Amino acid sequence: MAPVLPPSNEGGPNPDSSDGVVIADIIGKTRHVNIFGGFTRDIDTVASRLEDASKNTTVLAPENGAIMQLPRKPWEDPRDYDQYGANAYDGSEGEDRAHKNLRRFVEAHVVPENPWRENQRVTTLAGNTIWFENKDGRKVIQPGDVEVTTVAETVANGEVWVLKGVLNYA
Ligand X SMILES: *[C@@H]1O[C@H](CO)[C@@H](O)[C@H](O)[C@H]1NC(C)=O
Q: Give 30 or 154: the residue with its C-beta nearer to ligand X.
A: 154
At closest approach, how far in Å is the CB of 97 from ligand X?
Answer: 35
What is d(CA 150, CA 152) in angstroms, rounded to the nearest whole number? 6
Sign of the CA dihedral running 42, 43, 45, 50: negative
At closest approach, how far in Å is the CB of 141 from ligand X?
Answer: 18
Site for ligand X in 31-50 (CB under 6 A): none
Total residues at interface with ligand X (CB under 6 A): 7
Stretch that binds ligand X, among 27-35, 41-49, 135-143, 156-164 (CB under 6 A): 156-164
Site for ligand X in 97-116 (CB under 6 A): 114-115
Site for ligand X in 114-133 (CB under 6 A): 114-115
Phi-psi region of 62 (alpha: psi -120 to 50; beta: other; left: phi over 0): beta
Q: Which residue is nearest to ligand X (CB)?
A: 56
Residues 6+ apart with CB under 8 A from 41: 28, 47
The strand pair at 146-155 and 110-111 is best described as: unpaired
Check if the beta carbon of residue 108 is closer than 8 Å to that of residue 128. Answer: yes
- What are the start-end ranges of the E strands in 34-81? 57-62
Q: Give 124 or 157: the residue with its C-beta nearer to ligand X.
A: 157
Question: Does 159 engage in binding with ligand X (CB under 6 A)?
Answer: yes
Q: What residue ranges bind ligand X (CB under 6 A)? A: 56, 114-115, 154, 157-159
